[in-house]
Each structure stands twice: as structure tokens, then as C-alpha cells.
């Protein structure tokens, strides 16, 4: 399973990258706006730090706007993937961009049929938003599992990015469902490797060791 970081914060990316855990990065306009720096500057810096795909999202809503923006974004670095919203205009843009060899990540996927349409249009990645589906009482992990089944049924190469991950069960459930990638916010990453029983276990081993050393004096 590949792990992407869902952030536009370069310091956060560097920290997790140093652990060898970052296979790519996803951003969106909300995440970019939090950085308070020019879009191009942020994306170019992330692309230089990360050895893997970096998703940068278009903000236009028409086919012409999306394709024009996407062609510009693709010039910024070799590892830019253009994030396109799941709309009719977006699908048309994905179809054109895939023929030009520009990689796309179709975002805001909430149903199997949306994912299937994106895959048929030639998307490199689709991003089902688990957390936002759970927020409305729907089943985010079920969508990931169903997309995996459908893509396997028809041999689509499109990779599934489990997105809008809010907690550890989302990550573990996505892995069990066979998502190719999980994109994880920086705040969730430390939860992947920590457990209170690990911490208390280390402490009790050290306490016993100290007692043993003292008894040898
Ligand atoms: O990758 C999608 C993500 O940025 C959206 O997450 O938590 O805003 O639903 P969230």
C-alpha cells in the first residue's frame, strides 16, 4: 500500500519523508490556502522534496479552464498530477488530458458510478472521500471496497486513493479493502505507529532493567 500525505505544509512533509513513509502528496485549494504562499511556489517546493506524485487541483469549472490550468500545472514539475473535480466538464477534461499523457486524480468521488466514469474517462487516480461520506451517515469504507471490486472486475489501471481519512480505522479499513493508496493528514500519521501499550511496555522493560542493574551493584 502506498501512503500519500494530504497536506500542503512542506515542514510536515519533510518530517514524515525522513521516515521513508511518503510515496506522494495530495493537496487541494483549502490546504494550499492555509499555507499563505503562492500556489506555484508551494507545489514546486513539494515536488522537489517528494519522490512521487504530487496532486495539484484546478479551480476552473469549465472544460476549457480545466484543460488550460492542467497543462500549466503539468509544466511545473515532472511529478505533478492534476486534480480534477468529478463533473461532466471534469470528465471531458480528463479524457483530453489522458490522451496528452497528463496524469489526473479525479476528486470528490462519492459513488461507485462516479469512480467508474472517471476510470473510463482515463483517470490515473480516483479519490473517494471516506470521512465526508461517513459524516452524512453513509459508508465510506464500503465505497472503497466496492470501487476495488469494480476496477478489478474490468481490469482498470486507475488507482484508488482513499481520501478524507479522519482516523486509524479509516486507514486500516482501506488497506483491508485493497485501496492502492491512502492519503493521510499529517495529524493522523503519528497514530499509525503509536500505541499506549507500546509506550507502557517500553517503560516497564526499562523499570525492570533498572531494578536488575541496581541489584547487581
Ligand atoms: O484528500 C481529501 C481531503 O483533503 C479532504 O479531507 O477531511 O476535508 O474531508 P476532509
For the chain, what are the domain ranges? Answer: 2-216
Copy the grid coordinates of residue 175.
Answer: 488497506
Integer Cα distance of 122 and 120 in angstroms: 5
Q: How far is the CA of 2 from the centre of ligand 1 (A)?
A: 17
Closest CA to 83 of 39, 42, 127, 46: 127
pLDDT at 47: 98
pLDDT at 190: 87
pLDDT at 189: 87
The residue nearest atom 6 of ligand 1, judged by CA position, is 164
The DSSP code for 158 is P
What is the C-alpha end-to-end distance of the chain, expressed in Å? 50
Q: How far is the CA of 214 from the centre of ligand 1 (A)?
A: 52
The torsion angles phi and psi of 107, rounded to 5 degrees, stand at -110, 165
Q: Are 79 and 47 in contact (CB under 8 A)?
A: yes
Q: Which residues contact 22 (CB under 8 A, 6 or more apart)?
A: 3, 4, 5, 13, 16, 50, 52
- For residue 61, give the 3-state DSSP assignment: coil
Which class for 203: exposed (0-12), middle (13-18), buried (19 or more C-beta within 10 A)?
exposed
The pocket around ligand 1, CB under 6 angstroms, is made up of 6, 26, 28, 127, 129, 131-132, 163-164, 183
Q: How far is the CA of 150 from the centre of ligand 1 (A)?
A: 23
Mean pLDDT by 10 residues, the chain (217 residues): 97 94 96 97 98 98 98 98 98 98 98 98 98 98 98 98 97 98 94 94 98 96
Q: Which CATH superfamily is domain 2-216 in?
A: Aldolase class I (3.20.20.70)
Amino acid at each position: 500500500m502506498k501512503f500519500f500525505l494530504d497536506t500542503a505544509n512542506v515542514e510536515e512533509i519533510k518530517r514524515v519523508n525522513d521516515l521513508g513513509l511518503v510515496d506522494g502528496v495530495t493537496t487541494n485549494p483549502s490546504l494550499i490556502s492555509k499555507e499563505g504562499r503562492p500556489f506555484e511556489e508551494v507545489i514546486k517546493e513539494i515536488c522537489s522534496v517528494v519522490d512521487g506524485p504530487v496532486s495539484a487541483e484546478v479551480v476552473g469549472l469549465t472544460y476549457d479552464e480545466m484543460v488550460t490550468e492542467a497543462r500549466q500545472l503539468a509544466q511545473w514539475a515532472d511529478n505533478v498530477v492534476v486534480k480534477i473535480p468529478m463533473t461532466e466538464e471534469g470528465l471531458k477534461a480528463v479524457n483530453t488530458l489522458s490522451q496528452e499523457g497528463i496524469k489526473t486524480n479525479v476528486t470528490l468521488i462519492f459513488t461507485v458510478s462516479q469512480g467508474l466514469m472517471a476510470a473510463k474517462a482515463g483517470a490515473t487516480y480516483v479519490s473517494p472521500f471516506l470521512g465526508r461520506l461517513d459524516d452524512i451517515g453513509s459508508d465510506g469504507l464500503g465505497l472503497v471496497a466496492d470501487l476495488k471490486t469494480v476496477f478489478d472486475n474490468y481490469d482498470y489501471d486507475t488507482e484508488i486513493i482513499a481520501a478524507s481519512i479522519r482516523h486509524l480505522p479509516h486507514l486500516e479499513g482501506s488497506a483491508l479493502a485493497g485501496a492502492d493508496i491512502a492519503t493521510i493528514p499529517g495529524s493522523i500519521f503519528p497514530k499509525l505507529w503509536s500505541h499506549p501499550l507500546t509506550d507502557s511496555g517500553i517503560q516497564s522493560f526499562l523499570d525492570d532493567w533498572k531494578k536488575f542493574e541496581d541489584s547487581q551493584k
